[in-house]
A and B are shown apart, each in its own frame.
Chain A
């Protein structure tokens, strides 16, 4: 969890609009940084900083949609809010599908813009918390040994100890021992809780290979 103030990153090739938008958002109480092109933004931004991106959809070389997909691939995928002189339908559809926070005309009223920025910042905060929780969960799961993770995989699928012992070719008593270690390490009282936590952490989505074969 970062303590830095969220920053609104404005990316636009039109210097005049860049200055005006920056002024308005600063006056509205936001911390603002301006970039005259998408590539400048990607190169110069504070990679961990919270905030959001307000970008012109139509820019030379790397346009808004390009920026959106490039940003999505980074560790800090800030929410992106598109502004456009005159948006066309195919572009807006692509933008929204790409997870854009909003799609506004450049001449949209101040309130709409400020609300959208606020929403984007809130979302960023949410996403950031979520990402922090995940990281903490993952740290707990990281404490499990290879064998324990293997056993966990079978447990969350509701298999019995005996079945797990057969599958892994170990004693049922050994399986019980592993289960106790898992629940202790993760601090969960029940199997139901264990299953929810495992899915939350996305352990097996991230590493499908750990699923037992032949199921």
Chain B
């Protein structure tokens, strides 16, 4: 916490803790203008302080409000009483400064208790008699005079004395100095009062060391102790204390030896304790006069002892703890101050001073100095439950929680940042690796697939193209490439189509895919399959990416496949014509016979003297008709027998089926088969190749007729029907009234070389299926419900017809 921040901010401290002065929990809300030292001291004293930093006005006002209410609640009954209470005067007489620390602590306790006395209208005066240095025998009367003169107008209602000498002085001058004023004494050795006749109106507290519990504590903390070394002085008080101590030590005789260092000069004592064996402890009985007769401060001696001693020094008085002793059942002088004040209030209230009772040292708290514990390497685990450990070094965390938090936060943040950066770095590295990897794979794949990749910047009209791609188009590496340069390589016949496809892709935000030829510089023509996709920004084409591939080999293979398929189809047709030969001969002989008969008739008519010219004209017309009839049969045959490329164009189904029926009719007649054709007039045009489709129809009709060989003549029917199947296709069916296709053969009728006929080669149906599929249709077989089989196929409607 920065001091400047403190000075600017009003801080309210809520103090609570185990108050060692009064040995009870105290809680208070103190409005203070905090200073760091003060807060630190509060903490050292074992309080917990909750600080509120009230940084703005509203918070401060709110807190004040709450605080005032709390304060009012706690002390509501008192203020009126306090204001109206009669003024009482308290005079405190302090003793000699040699035992200053003890007295000062008592004074502190007393002052706090008196100043926080609610309900009393008190005026407190203090006088320091310092009778050790200014003996009463010499200055007694002057002091009495001085005090009387000084407190003439403010006669004390109660007199509080601290230290033996002060009480003695007051008692000695009882008649001169404020006679009849009640006296409350404190910090008086019990021997001073024990057994003495005390005048009335005198009460007080005397102090007593708790050797017993101190020794118990020592043995508890250091169970291996064999010797207790008692350090003490040669003064009157010390001698009395030593006597008491010896008594107590006797009780521990079975556990430890005792050694006394009570007659040595201080320095000798210090030298001695520096050499003590580890299984010993020092018990320090406050020394006021050393073996050399020197007056010493027991408080200071405690410090020196603690510094010099090799083994822990146990003490009896609380102020010594701060000097470095390890602890003991310590007399708390500050609490004596509180108790004294309480006694004084009772006296002021008019209560009869309580009778003096022997002190109970067992209330002295067991206190342990944490720092000393560490210094002498005494295990903390042995500390009894009722003991309180003080001066515990605040842990680094307690000292600087914010700094540590901040540091930890910074370190944490930094770690997170570092980890984040490392992760990001490794991710980026991975991403880069995977990108490189995928690029490698891509180029490997592109290389392997003979793919040329390109990007066309539409705006700048610049084309980037891989070397492979350039090779495909016969363009040298490292030359600038634009659309026109690329087009120049495209076969002139394909340029318009390619342009149109690319333009469409640019206009429709789509893709283009097409195959075109390129002419290389040596005149060689290759086929390229190109595919591209346009990228758009703000609705405008920015660039187009794509791949190109040499598909010449594939084209050739396709061409060969097509030729082969056509060859097979042709073989199929020739074989079919063979089957039809006799029927077709009949079909041709029929008109030829008619022509002959007509000619012969005409000859006979002309031999008449008056020939019937009308008759002759009719004959000639019939001859012409029959000639055309014979010619058309031959034409149809020749068309079917010719080698023929697949050329699709819009076809009228009625016409197509009619042509085929007329070819098949003669055979149907010969086999006594009734051939029915039912093609509705309103059917749209289909797209297809006339010859190939006739081949399919003829094949299906002949198959149908073949299926009727076993059927009685009256039931031999083959029918060809057509109907619209959805918006895009027409379905044509060829049905017969035969015995149908056995279920186990239905799946195989389209297999090559599968046949049920004695003379069949099993190629008719596979060829038919190939032809129909080349038209984008489908050919399948099924058995009719009423008996017989049906072969059905679909054909696409011609686009013109579909659009119309």
Name A residues whose Cβ lies closer than 8 Å to a Cβ of B: 13-14, 16-17, 19-21, 23-24, 26-28, 58-61, 63, 83-86, 88, 105-107, 110
Q: Do the beta carbons of A19 and B589 come within 8 Å of each other?
A: no
CA–CA, A16 and B585, complex, Å = 17
Q: Do the beta carbons of A106 and B593 come within 8 Å of each other?
A: yes
Q: Is B18 an interface residue (CB 8 A)?
A: no
Q: Do the beta carbons of B593 and A59 come within 8 Å of each other?
A: no
Q: Identify A27's interface contact among B594, B605, B669, B672, CB under 8 A.
A: B605
**Which residues of A have CB within 8 Å of B615?**
23
Interface positions, chain B 211-247, Cβ under 8 Å from A, are none
Interface positions, chain B 515-531, Cβ under 8 Å from A, are none
B263 to chain A, nearest CB (A): 163
A91 to chain B, nearest CB (A): 9
Given contacts A17-B593, A20-B601, A85-B589, 7 further A-B contacts (CB under 8 A): A16-B629, A20-B593, A28-B604, A60-B668, A61-B672, A84-B586, A85-B588
Q: Do the beta carbons of B604 and A20 come within 8 Å of each other?
A: no
A-B contact list, 7 entries, CB within 8 Å = A16-B594, A23-B619, A24-B598, A58-B586, A84-B586, A86-B586, A106-B596
CA–CA, A171 and B330, complex, Å = 190
Which single residue of chain A is at the shortest CB-CB distance from B713? A61
Which single residue of chain A is at the shortest CB-CB distance from B600? A110
Q: Which 4 A-B pairs have the closest CB atoms?
A: A106-B593, A85-B586, A85-B589, A20-B597
- The winner among B586, B591, B615, B672 for most chain A CB atoms within 10 A is B586
CA–CA, A45 and B600, complex, Å = 27
CA–CA, A28 and B590, complex, Å = 21
B616 to chain A, nearest CB (A): 10
Q: Is B670 an interface residue (CB 8 A)?
A: yes
Q: Identify A24's interface contact among B585, B587, B600, CB under 8 A.
A: B600
Q: Is B622 an interface residue (CB 8 A)?
A: yes
CA–CA, A22 and B598, complex, Å = 9
B536 to chain A, nearest CB (A): 69
**Which residues of B have CB within 8 Å of A27?**
600-601, 604-605
Q: Is B371 an interface residue (CB 8 A)?
A: no
Q: What interface size band does chain B fall in?
A: 20 to 34
**Which residues of A have CB within 8 Å of B668?**
60
**Which residues of A have CB within 8 Å of B590?**
14, 16-17, 85, 106
CA–CA, A47 and B310, complex, Å = 166
Which single residue of chain A is at the shortest CB-CB distance from B623? A20
Which single residue of chain B is at the shortest CB-CB distance from A12? B590
Which single residue of chain B is at the shortest CB-CB distance from A29? B604
**Which residues of B have CB within 8 Å of A23?**
597-598, 601, 615, 619
**Which residues of A have CB within 8 Å of B588?**
85
**Which residues of A have CB within 8 Å of B589?**
85-86, 105-107
CA–CA, A118 and B678, complex, Å = 45
Q: Do the beta carbons of B674 and A21 come within 8 Å of each other?
A: no
CA–CA, A82 and B626, complex, Å = 21
A39 to chain B, nearest CB (A): 13
Which single residue of chain B is at the shortest CB-CB distance from A91? B670
**Which residues of B have CB within 8 Å of A13?**
669
Q: Do the beta carbons of A17 and B669 come within 8 Å of each other?
A: no
- The winner among B585, B593, B626, B669 for most chain A CB atoms within 10 A is B593
Q: Is B390 an interface residue (CB 8 A)?
A: no
**Which residues of A have CB within 8 Å of B582?**
86, 88
B717 to chain A, nearest CB (A): 12
Interface positions, chain B 634-680, Cβ under 8 Å from A, are 666, 668-670, 672, 674
**Which residues of B have CB within 8 Å of A26?**
601
- Given the known interface contacts A23-B619, A58-B586, the answer about A85 and B598 at a Cβ–Cβ threshold of 8 Å is no
Q: Is B378 an interface residue (CB 8 A)?
A: no
A195 to chain B, nearest CB (A): 47
The total number of A-B Cβ pairs within 8 Å is: 90
Which single residue of chain B is at the shortest CB-CB distance from A114? B600
A121 to chain B, nearest CB (A): 18
Q: Do the beta carbons of B674 and A60 come within 8 Å of each other?
A: yes
Which single residue of chain A is at the shortest CB-CB distance from B596? A107
B626 to chain A, nearest CB (A): 5
**Which residues of B have CB within 8 Å of A60?**
668-669, 672, 674
Q: Is B592 an interface residue (CB 8 A)?
A: yes
Interface positions, chain B 592-638, Cβ under 8 Å from A, are 592-598, 600-601, 604-605, 615, 619, 622, 625-626, 629
B4 to chain A, nearest CB (A): 126
CA–CA, A36 and B596, complex, Å = 19
**Which residues of B have CB within 8 Å of A28?**
604
Q: Do the beta carbons of B622 and A63 come within 8 Å of each other?
A: no
Q: Do the beta carbons of A24 and B669 come within 8 Å of each other?
A: no
Which single residue of chain A is at the shortest CB-CB distance from B612? A27
CA–CA, A60 and B661, complex, Å = 14
CA–CA, A60 and B598, complex, Å = 24
Q: Identify B670's interface contact among A14, A24, A58, CB under 8 A.
A: A58
B633 to chain A, nearest CB (A): 11
A21 to chain B, nearest CB (A): 5
CA–CA, A26 and B582, complex, Å = 31
B514 to chain A, nearest CB (A): 54
- Given the known interface contacts A83-B593, A88-B582, the answer about A24 and B629 at a Cβ–Cβ threshold of 8 Å is no
Q: Identify B594's interface contact among A17, A59, A110, CB under 8 A.
A: A17
Q: Do the beta carbons of A85 and B674 come within 8 Å of each other?
A: no
Q: Do the beta carbons of B594 and A20 come within 8 Å of each other?
A: yes
Which single residue of chain B is at the shortest CB-CB distance from A88? B582
CA–CA, A83 and B586, complex, Å = 11
CA–CA, A88 and B669, complex, Å = 14
CA–CA, A26 and B615, complex, Å = 12
Q: Do the beta carbons of A17 and B587 come within 8 Å of each other?
A: no
- The winner among B590, B591, B666, B674 for most chain A CB atoms within 10 A is B590
**Which residues of A have CB within 8 Å of B605?**
27
B284 to chain A, nearest CB (A): 149
Q: Do the beta carbons of B625 and A16 come within 8 Å of each other?
A: yes
B750 to chain A, nearest CB (A): 31
Which single residue of chain B is at the shortest CB-CB distance from A17? B594
**Which residues of B have CB within 8 Å of A63?**
672
**Which residues of B have CB within 8 Å of A83?**
593
- Given the known interface contacts A16-B626, A28-B604, A86-B585, the answer about A107 and B669 at a Cβ–Cβ threshold of 8 Å is no
**Which residues of B have CB within 8 Å of A85?**
585-590, 593, 666
B662 to chain A, nearest CB (A): 13
CA–CA, A88 and B592, complex, Å = 18
**Which residues of B have CB within 8 Å of A88?**
582
B433 to chain A, nearest CB (A): 82
Q: Do the beta carbons of A106 and B669 come within 8 Å of each other?
A: no
- The winner among B625, B668, B670 for most chain A CB atoms within 10 A is B670
**Which residues of A have CB within 8 Å of B625?**
16
**Which residues of A have CB within 8 Å of B597?**
17, 20-21, 23-24, 106, 110
Q: Do the beta carbons of B586 and A107 come within 8 Å of each other?
A: no
B790 to chain A, nearest CB (A): 23
CA–CA, A114 and B601, complex, Å = 12
CA–CA, A23 and B601, complex, Å = 6
**Which residues of B have CB within 8 Å of A24?**
597-598, 600-601, 604
- The winner among B596, B598, B672 for most chain A CB atoms within 10 A is B596
- The winner among A13, A21, A85 for most chain B CB atoms within 10 A is A85
B500 to chain A, nearest CB (A): 54
**Which residues of A have CB within 8 Å of B672?**
60-61, 63
**Which residues of B have CB within 8 Å of A20?**
593-598, 601, 619, 622, 626
Q: Chain B 428-471 against A: per-residue CB contact (8 Å), 1 yes, 0 no?
A: 00000000000000000000000000000000000000000000
CA–CA, A13 and B135, complex, Å = 175
A150 to chain B, nearest CB (A): 47
CA–CA, A139 and B592, complex, Å = 51
A41 to chain B, nearest CB (A): 17
